[in-house]
Amino acid sequence: MSFEACVDAGRTVDFTVPIYESDGSTAIVLAATDVVRVKIGRRETVSLDLDSVAATENGSVVTVDETNPASVTVRLAQADTIGLDGAYDCEVSVVDDSEESPADAIKCAEKGVIHFLPSMSGDVGKT
Per-residue pLDDT band for 106 (boundaries 50, 70, 90) equals: confident
The CATH homologous superfamily for domain 2-117 is: Immunoglobulins (2.60.40.10)
Determine the average pLDDT of the residues in 77-93.
95
pTM for the whole thing?
Answer: 0.88
pLDDT at 8: 94
Contact 104, 94 (CB under 8 A): no
pLDDT confidence of residue 85: 95
Poorest-confidence range of 28-32, 40-44, 49-53, 99-103?
A: 99-103
pLDDT at 126: 79
**Contact, 13 vs 38, CB < 8 A?**
no
pLDDT at residue 1, as a whole number: 57
For residue 117, what pLDDT band results from cuts at 50, 70 and 90?
Answer: very high
Q: Please say whether the beta carbons of 32 and 95 come within 8 A.
A: no
